[in-house]
Amino acid sequence: MSVGSFQITARDGAARAGVLETAHGPLRTPAFMPVGTKATVKAVLPQELRDLGAQILLGNTYHLYFRPGADLVAELGGLHRFMAWDGPILTDSGGFQVFSLRHTADRVDDEGVSFQSVYDGSRHRFTPELAMDVQRLLGSDIAMAFDECTRADVTPEELERAVRRTSLWARRSRDADRAPGQLVFGIVQGATDRALRERSAAEILEVGFDGYAIGGLSVGEERPLMLEMTSFTADLLPAERPRYFMGIGDPQGVIEMIARGVDMFDCVLPTRLGRTGSALAPEGRLNLRNAAFARDPRPLAEGCTCPACAAFSRAYIRHLIVQEEIVGLRLLTIHNLHTVIDLVARARAAVEEGRFGEFAAAAGASGR
């Protein structure tokens, strides 16, 4: 398979399993991408991520542009060598930070975005060309087109402008220089407006990309509406290219994505929960600061094979958390990542074996 080729190996309903060939090896889909915003997945070493089954990591253009700088990363051999990760890497374009850090932006126009750095208050301007050049220097396997994500509650006029601007920026992103073997994904916007989503998809497909992302969701709308819009958008995208939902990482949520034909997804949720003292478990999220776990001899999740569950009790991990020992946060982070990565691997196997519907129902997913 050549770089950029995507082969669907199995289907079960809308769910599918496939292989995307990247410059750093094949990516078996569906795949969850742990988030390494600043060239590290917080509290976890690259080899530990490999041991957990992670195939691909996500880095962030906005943050790496400021610290340590794309030129420095390129000088030191690119992002893979810099962070000692030899598998595929996807980089976000920085477009989401225009949304999440919108209080720092004072000008958004057809040319780009002017804003203040969250690090030192200095003024900067991001354009599609700059965002793509930073990703070229980083040398990621998949670079995301620069886009404008909106809140769920924007006016129709604001949403239409964002869709138009995303299409304009998509063409400029596609035409920019790339690193050798670098793929570029376009992003469909439109929030929960069906007509604008249909328009956005048509315009992004006309530009033409190696893969397509479902953007502008999981930004404040209700979960049922998000799932409805995901199904609607996925049906607009070509079956022969990978589909990426930006920003979902809870166990039920990722199964819902797979059920709708999504191939890739990312989220900070598993690592953020770990750093704040919580674990993903079959019965829900466990707050290990709770005194109820002080004498609990059970692992975080029965049957879990992660390093935390294989050796330690809830009581011990709670002790580490309340004593502010770093090992406790590491154990929870590793467990949460294992929970999501292993779930996706089992979902992929279920698709390949033609039993995904049963698997999804057992996970509490609603399906399409």
How far is 347 from 349, CA to CA, in rounded Å? 5
Predicted TM-score (pTM) of this structure: 0.97
* Residue among 342, 312, 275 at smallest CA distance from 43: 275
Cα dist. 229→179, 196, 243, 266 in Å? 33, 11, 14, 18
Question: Do the Cβ atoms of 38 and 46 come closer than 8 Å?
Answer: no
Spell 254-273 as b/e; 16+ CB within 10 A means b. Answer: bbbbbbbbbbbbbbbbbbeb
Number of structural domains (the chain) is 2
Is 338 found in the same domain as 219? no
Is 39 found in the same domain as 157? yes
343 membership: H or E segment, kind and range:
helix 326-352
Out of 266, 284, 313, pick the residue that ends a domain: 266
Is 174 found in the same domain as 29? yes
Is 272 found in the same domain as 175? no
Within-domain flag for 368: no
Is 295 found in the same domain as 168? no
Is 233 found in the same domain as 281? no
- The tens place of each residue's pLDDT in the chain, 368 residues long, gives 899 999 999 999 999 999 999 999 999 999 999 999 999 999 999 999 999 999 999 999 999 999 999 999 999 999 999 999 999 999 999 877 766 777 787 888 999 999 888 999 999 999 999 999 999 999 999 999 999 988 888 999 999 999 999 999 999 999 999 999 999 999 999 999 999 999 999 999 999 999 999 999 999 999 999 999 999 999 999 999 999 999 999 999 999 999 999 999 999 999 999 999 999 999 999 999 999 999 999 999 999 999 999 999 999 999 999 999 999 999 999 999 999 999 999 999 999 999 999 999 998 888 76
Q: According to the model, what pLDDT value does residue 150 have?
A: 87
Within-domain flag for 365: no
Active site residues: 92, 266
Q: Which domain holds residue 312?
A: 268-358
What number of CA atoms fall less than 13 Å from residue 170's CA on the CB side? 27
